Amino acid sequence: MSLDNVCGCSAAEEIIPLNKTNFYKKQRRVALRNCGVIDPENIDEYIAVDGYRALAKSLTELTPQDVIKIVSDSGLRGRGGGGFPTGRKWSFTAANQADQKYVVCNADEGDPGAFMDRSVLEGDPHCIVEAMAICGYATGASEGYVYVRAEYPIAVKRLEKAIEDAKAYGLLGDNIFGTDFCFNLHVRLGAGAFVCGEETALMTSIEGNRGEPRPRPPYPAVSGLFAKPTTENNVETFANIPQIVLNGPEFFNTIGTETSKGTKVFALGGKITNTGLVEIPMGTTLREIVEDIGGGIPNGRKFKAAQTGGPSGGCIPEAHLDTPMDYDSLLKIGAMVGSGGLIIMDDTSCMVDIAKFFLKFTVDESCGKCTPCRVGTRRLLEILEKITDGKGTMEDLDTMEALCYYIKDNSLCGLGQTAPNPVLSSYRHFKEEYIAHVRDKKCPAGVCKNLVQITIDPDKCKGCSLCSRKCPVGAISGEIKKPFVIDQSKCIKCGVCIDTCKFGAISRK
């Protein structure tokens, strides 16, 4: 990435402060406040920036009910995708009596394209340790588990070190801050199963089983991990807790919109100039993220859609660029905040192909426990493959839509219930693109290989023969200095010739 991209200024201009740059100007860092600022492997640096003060305040000045009230009043909602009010979740577990309760941190960041949880665990692991201890105090739990993806080895290493250091300082273990409160933390590694991001599947996995979800009720607040009352929150949710407890609910609920308080981290990626983690107040519009923070679409291409929430989410077309990014506004247009993956696509992306990509993912990741998800997603994928192969009919589109609703309504867990979302939302906003594939047998973006033809423009071709020499299947022939032609029956549409041609004579249509 060049300096221009990072700073929004050229190297020749004067150097401007980080918070005045286009990328950072509109950001407000709460969950990520320490990432990149402190040494994550040094507990003293965390303590120097008010670390563990929120825990001290909770244990020595507040009752568990006070802590829950502060979290409830802050308006914090689950950042893992569900958006359930965190304070209410804690109060459910607190209300249940049991000999043992648990706190679980969901760090199984499975949404492809989202990496804020990795960033927090790698850049500020103590904040998760502190937040989980606060949650343990508020809900009456003395044991906690962090379930981390095995794909994040640095996060695991730093988290384990943070737990060791906190223990050595007496900030975990028995009688923390001289009170009766005891809290221990364990790390468990995932093994590459997307469904384990679902809360009941995650608990089943911690117990050492195949990570299959369980029907609810009973809810985890009643019978969760090892059949005991359990509070489970996502990494980013926990990352907000110490600041909320320390500064009071007003610190948090004055940021954001009426129903979505605070900030949200989005992982900006795809066809956008500035990629990276972006923490913005809830309610910032997508246009501000794409044009101001993201610096627009590179290579002079046009914005086509943004995909939020990964395989569970939906797409946002250009017409909705001014939608505020918050839980309710996004749901209204058929998308979702989800865990915060935000992939930008330009006009070279085919929406049917993207829907097919996500569905392939869910077909692979469906755990197989319930039929609507296991069989339904596979049938749905077959319909999409038929469409992108140019064999789809208009009836297929109706079947596709009906099947989507059937899977949504009948699946056991969040994976199946949200799996059809990428299809439904792209069909809703880009219906004409689906119809072009079915009726006209054309892929407008030129992505679906069976629907495009690569042709040589005879007016531009100089007959240099370079393409015919590079073609891996020998599909191009002609006489030197006369226009060459592509034998469509041999062409495998690999596009090597397009990259090879110096005269821009070959194109995909």
Partner 1 sequence: MQKKISKIPFKGTPEQEAQLKAVIAECKDDKSRLMHVMQKAQDIYGYLPYEVQVMIAEGMDVPLEKVYGVSTFYAQFALSPKGKYNVSVCLGTACYVKGSQDVLERICSELGINEGECSADGKFSIEACRCIGACGLAPVFTVNGEVYGKVTPDDVPGILAKYKNAED
Min dist. Cβ of residue 343 to partner 1 (A): 5
- Does 307 help bind partner 1 (rule: CB under 8 A)? yes
- Does 275 help bind partner 1 (rule: CB under 8 A)? yes
- Does 229 help bind partner 1 (rule: CB under 8 A)? no
Please tell me the distance from the alpha carbon of residue 257 to that of residue 83, in angstroms, as a whole number.
14
State which residue, 55 or 325, has the beta carbon closest to partner 1.
325
Please tell me the distance from the alpha carbon of residue 493 to that of residue 508, in angstroms, as a whole number.
9
- Report which secondary-structure segment, H or E, holds 345: strand 341-346
Q: Which stretch binds partner 1 (CB under 8 A): 58-66, 127-135, 204-212, 325-333?
A: 204-212
Under 8 Å CB-to-CB from 167, ≥6 apart: which residues?
173
State which residue, 192 or 248, has the beta carbon closest to partner 1.
192
- Does 207 help bind partner 1 (rule: CB under 8 A)? yes
Please tell me the distance from the alpha carbon of residue 308 to that of residue 422, in angstroms, as a whole number.
9
Q: Which stretch binds partner 1 (CB under 8 A): 42-50, 182-190, 256-264, 384-392?
A: 182-190
Which residues ranging from 249 to 268 are in contact with partner 1 (CB under 8 A)? 267
- Does 36 help bind partner 1 (rule: CB under 8 A)? no
Cβ pair 344, 290 in contact under 8 A: yes
Min dist. Cβ of residue 275 to partner 1 (A): 4
Work out whether strand 454-456 and strand 276-281 pair parallel, antiparallel, or are unpaired.
unpaired
State which residue, 146 or 343, has the beta carbon closest to partner 1.
343
> Number of residues in contact with partner 1, rule: CB under 8 A?
43
The only residue of 188, 374, 386, 462 in contact with partner 1, by rule CB under 8 A? 188
- Does 150 help bind partner 1 (rule: CB under 8 A)? yes
State which residue, 71 or 354, has the beta carbon closest to partner 1.
354
The only residue of 193, 282, 289, 476 in contact with partner 1, by rule CB under 8 A? 193
State which residue, 108 or 288, has the beta carbon closest to partner 1.
108
Distance from chain centroid for Cα 99: 36
- Does 343 help bind partner 1 (rule: CB under 8 A)? yes
Q: Which stretch binds partner 1 (CB under 8 A): 188-196, 254-262, 403-411, 482-490?
A: 188-196
Residue reference for tokens 């679906």: 448
State which residue, 48 or 492, has the beta carbon closest to partner 1.
492
Under 8 Å CB-to-CB from 185, ≥6 apart: which residues?
129, 132, 133, 143, 144, 145, 146, 163, 166, 172
Q: Which stretch binds partner 1 (CB under 8 A): 72-80, 95-103, 202-210, 461-469?
A: 202-210
The strand pairing partners of 454, in sequence order, are: 508
The only residue of 64, 197, 262, 269 in contact with partner 1, by rule CB under 8 A? 269
Question: Phi-psi region for residue 353, left (φ > 0), alpha (ψ -120 to 50) or beta?
Answer: alpha
DSSP H stretches of helix in 346-375:
351-365, 371-374
Min dist. Cβ of residue 247 to partner 1 (A): 30
Cβ pair 451, 254 in contact under 8 A: no
Token pair, residue 206, equals: 């911690």
Q: In what order do the strands lie in the sheet with 184-189?
A: 184-189, 143-148, 102-107, 230-234
- Does 192 help bind partner 1 (rule: CB under 8 A)? yes
Min dist. Cβ of residue 17 to partner 1 (A): 22
Instruction: Report the residue count for the chain.
Output: 509
Cβ pair 58, 242 in contact under 8 A: no
Min dist. Cβ of residue 150 to partner 1 (A): 6
Looking at residue 489, the DSSP 8-state letter turns out to be T
Under 8 Å CB-to-CB from 483, ≥6 apart: which residues?
456, 458, 461, 463
- The 347-376 contact track toward partner 1, x by CB under 8 A, reads --x----x--xx-----x--x---------
The only residue of 19, 209, 399, 450 in contact with partner 1, by rule CB under 8 A? 209
- Report which secondary-structure segment, H or E, holds 243: helix 235-247
Q: Which stretch binds partner 1 (CB under 8 A): 73-81, 84-92, 200-208, 428-436?
A: 200-208
- Does 147 help bind partner 1 (rule: CB under 8 A)? no
Q: Which stretch binds partner 1 (CB under 8 A): 4-12, 64-72, 340-348, 405-413?
A: 340-348
- Does 382 help bind partner 1 (rule: CB under 8 A)? no
Which residues ranging from 59 to 118 are in contact with partner 1 (CB under 8 A)? 109-115, 118
The only residue of 48, 168, 191, 227 in contact with partner 1, by rule CB under 8 A? 191
Please tell me the distance from the alpha carbon of residue 362 to that of residue 421, in angstroms, as a whole number.
11
The only residue of 125, 144, 211, 478 in contact with partner 1, by rule CB under 8 A? 211
Please tell me the distance from the alpha carbon of residue 400 to that of residue 121, in angstroms, as a whole number.
40
The only residue of 189, 246, 321, 435 in contact with partner 1, by rule CB under 8 A? 189
Helix, coil or strand: residue 388:
helix
Q: In what order do the strands lie in the sheet with 341-346?
A: 276-281, 263-270, 341-346, 303-308, 314-317
Contact residues for partner 1 (CB under 8 A)? 109-115, 118, 150-152, 188-194, 205-211, 226, 267, 269-271, 275-276, 307, 310, 341, 343, 345, 349, 354, 357-358, 364, 367
